[in-house]
Amino acid sequence: MNSSNSKQVCVVLLLLLSNIIMMAMNVLGGSESWCVARSDASYNALQTALDYACGAGADCLPLQPDGLCFLPNTIQAHASYAFNSYYQKSSRAPGSCDFSGTSTIAQTDPSYGSCVYPSSSSSSGTGGPNTPTTSAPMTNPNVPSSTTTSSPIFGGLSPGMNTPFTDNSKAPSKELASWFLIFFSSLLILSIIS
How far from the centroid of its chain's Cα atoms is residue 22's Cα? 20
- The domain locations on the chain are 3-27+175-193, 31-163
User: With pLDDT > 90 as the criterion, what percentage of the chain qualifies?
Assistant: 44
Q: What is the pTM of this model?
A: 0.56
Name all contacts of 61-65 with Cβ < 8 Å and 24+ positions apart.
61/125, 61/127, 61/135, 61/138, 62/115, 62/125, 63/141, 64/138, 64/139, 64/141, 65/141
pLDDT for position 156: 39
Is the model's pLDDT at 186 over the cut of 80? no
pLDDT for position 122: 75
Summarize pLDDT for 114-152 with one digit per residue, the tens: 999 999 887 655 544 433 333 344 455 555 544 444 344
